[in-house]
């Protein structure tokens, strides 16, 4: 269908890997469970991605979703204990390293643009470590340095819950992302230290005041690894036009989230969301910020994606739909691969 390689700005697949979760999926074997494994990545020409380490709550929240006449609200998950979160992150990091060793060169940890390109040339999947929510990092930031040495190159200071660094947006629709206070003093220290180390700061899941605090402090391009446009779907997780302007003005990037409820204007959880609707949302972002600043941030294993894509092997269908809508080959390559590498090159010290 096409021969365009893809780099994906976000997946949650670590949570489901057998190396981390007994009885989970073997990422090296093709499966119909979940949307992502190595064989289907290769089928879809997925050559790399940000793999998210994430500490889930100790207790699954109960009855935390409220349906309204025109939308929904999901109340905050509980704040996490630092020690508990660190144990989970350590276990996930160990699992990812074991998986890479088991892959016999078919997967490679990448900490720089050259390493991503080398993996691509060798037909290996480039794994870039990301962490979604910084609960495992204490105010002294020692563990941040440990993670950087282990290969971490991207960090979301918060998930959709508060922590010592700032405030995540609760999931809600229709609602503004301006849901509470911004960064704490510890959060400002975290941003400065990430800039010094060359760790990309991910603004996905951060509330609007936190977004503007990062924008005022950070010396790196602004990035949201998986988000959509609030003007089309007014959920808290989506970016307002003013936020999009700030990302454009810093030469950053928006990773387009394949979550159907953030793509659709009605926020319905409907896997039968058609690709022409998906492409129109991408067009809105590109028209607003330019073709150099929109990429893919699928959120595979973290959301419901359009059925016509279904999994990583279906990514060529998305690119073909974009092509039919008028995207030329240079624009498709920017969206699929080049925009992420440009921002990495501007952010990482490598």
pLDDT band at 75 (very low <50, low <70, confident <90, very high): confident
Distance (Å, whole) CA 296 – CA 209: 25
Is the confidence at residue 86, as pLDDT, over 50?
yes
Distance (Å, whole) CA 234 – CA 229: 8
Q: What is the pLDDT of residue 60?
A: 79
Residue 108 sits at φ, ψ, to 5 deg, of -135, 135
pLDDT more than 70, % of the chain: 99
pLDDT band at 78 (very low <50, low <70, confident <90, very high): confident
Mean pLDDT across the stretch 303-325?
A: 98
Sheet holding 294-296, edge to edge: 223-227, 253-256, 294-296
* Element of type H or E holding 27: none
Question: Which residues sit opposite 173 in a β-bridge?
Answer: 72
Q: Are strands 72-74 and 65-67 parallel, antiparallel or unpaired?
A: antiparallel
Residue 233 sits at φ, ψ, to 5 deg, of -125, 105
130 neighbors 202 (Cβ within 8 angstroms): yes
Residue 349 sits at φ, ψ, to 5 deg, of -100, 85
Distance (Å, whole) CA 320 – CA 28: 27
Is the confidence at residue 349, as pLDDT, over 80?
no
SS3 245: helix
pLDDT in tens, 92-134: 999 999 999 999 999 999 999 999 999 999 999 999 999 999 9
Is the confidence at residue 223, as pLDDT, over 70?
yes
Residue 76: exposure state from Cβ atoms within 10 A (0-12, 13-18, ≥19): middle
Q: What is the pLDDT of residue 1?
A: 42
Mean of the per-residue pLDDT values for the chain?
Answer: 96
Q: What is the pLDDT of residue 62?
A: 81
Nearest Cα neighbor of 132 from 14, 32, 46 is 14
Mean pLDDT across the stretch 242-259?
A: 98
9 neighbors 340 (Cβ within 8 angstroms): yes
Question: Which residues sit opposite 201 in a β-bridge?
Answer: 155
pLDDT in tens, 138-177: 999 999 999 999 999 999 999 999 999 999 999 999 999 9
pLDDT band at 350 (very low <50, low <70, confident <90, very high): low
Contacts of 189 (CB under 8 A, 6+ apart): 139, 141
pLDDT band at 68 (very low <50, low <70, confident <90, very high): confident
Dihedral sign for Cα 297, 300, 301, 304, please: positive
pLDDT in tens, 48-59: 999 999 999 988
pLDDT more than 90, % of the chain: 93
pLDDT band at 344 (very low <50, low <70, confident <90, very high): very high
Distance (Å, whole) CA 165 – CA 255: 23
């Amino acid at each position: 269908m096409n021969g365009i390689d893809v780099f994906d700005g976000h997946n949650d697949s670590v949570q489901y890997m057998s190396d981390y979760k007994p009885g989970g999926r073997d990422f090296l074997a093709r499966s119909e469970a979940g949307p992502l494994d190595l064989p289907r990545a290769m089928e879809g020409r997925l050559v790399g991605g940000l793999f998210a380490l994430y500490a889930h709550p100790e207790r699954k929240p109960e009855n935390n979703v409220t349906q309204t006449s025109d939308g929904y609200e999901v109340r905050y998950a509980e704040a996490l204990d630092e020690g508990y979160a660190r144990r989970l992150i350590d276990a996930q990091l160990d699992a990812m390293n074991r998986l890479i060793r088991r892959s016999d060169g078919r997967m490679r940890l990448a900490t720089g643009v050259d390493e991503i390109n080398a993996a691509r040339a060798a037909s290996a999947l480039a794994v870039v470590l990301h962490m979604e929510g910084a609960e495992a990092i204490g105010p002294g930031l020692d563990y941040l340095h440990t993670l950087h040495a282990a290969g971490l190159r991207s960090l979301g200071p918060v998930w959709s819950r508060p922590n010592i660094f700032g405030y995540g947006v609760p999931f809600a629709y229709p609602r503004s992302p301006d849901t509470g206070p911004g960064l704490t003093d510890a959060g400002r220290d975290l941003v400065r230290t990430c800039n010094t180390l060359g760790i990309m700061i991910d603004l996905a899941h951060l509330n609007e005041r936190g977004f503007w605090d990062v924008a005022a402090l950070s010396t790196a391009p602004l990035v949201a690894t998986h988000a959509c446009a609030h003007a089309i779907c007014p959920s808290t997780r989506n970016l307002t036009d003013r936020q999009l302007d700030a990302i454009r003005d810093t030469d950053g990037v928006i990773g387009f989230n394949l979550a159907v409820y953030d793509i659709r204007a009605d926020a319905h959880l409907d896997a039968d969301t058609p690709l022409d609707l998906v492409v129109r949302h991408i067009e809105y972002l590109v028209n607003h910020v330019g073709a150099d600043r929109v990429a893919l941030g699928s959120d595979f294993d973290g959301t419901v994606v359009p059925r016509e894509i279904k999994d990583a092997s279906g990514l060529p269908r998305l690119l073909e739909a974009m092509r039919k809508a008028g995207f030329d080959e240079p624009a498709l390559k920017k969206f699929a691969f080049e925009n992420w590498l440009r921002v990495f090159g501007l952010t990482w010290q490598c």
